[in-house]
Structure 1
């Protein structure tokens, strides 16, 4: 089975995810990107072209999830949209890769307790900064 991956948000970090997916797909991995979404259509189109032009392009991540029906959604949106997008994707039955933070405040976190009843998995990944140690960067990148 090859997992169909969609990316919500085509800012700077999406290039890293797309590059990793492309490399993984070319080396016989079991995942490939199928769609990208961004409210800026030219940014979404540019991301699709960098991947090879085979991706469906959407201006709305919710429409992308409904129409492309991915197995996995990578949430690469601004922080204040993380919880909403993750919940929408999980409700649609998608597995998640969610960059930090999951929510903006601790008061939003109880809502995430309903995730335990959904048949999805979520990888919550902490980012690294250039100033962090080489060992920490290597350990974090091994998660992907």
Structure 2
């Protein structure tokens, strides 16, 4: 895969505050099933404490950015506060998430680009402007 696309969960303040990574996965999986997806559309998620929960196998096409799923990996960052306007990474996510995501991206041979869902659709997701040079 040459590109990773970052996402947020678009949740309310505290909505996932006491969730385990598995509970977050199950909840988002249910949302995706209700939208007609074939289950959890991302390749994994990062909790505010930096823990990682795998989603779709990296070899499987995701369901995370309409028209751009082939050749991309989708990573969901569970925000620590509700995203209502564009901000900076640290406005919504933790340093533990930054470290965990950076480490995961470093494991991906051939990765050339890191983008945000908002690079492909008129959305706030993931709540900040993603720049490849900040992640690679």
- TM-score of the alignment, normalized to the shorter chain, above 0.5: no
From the CA coordinates, give the structure whose radius of gyration is larger.
1
Structure number with greater CO (CA < 8 Å, separation at least 6) is 2
Give the TM-score range, shorter chain. 0.3 to 0.5
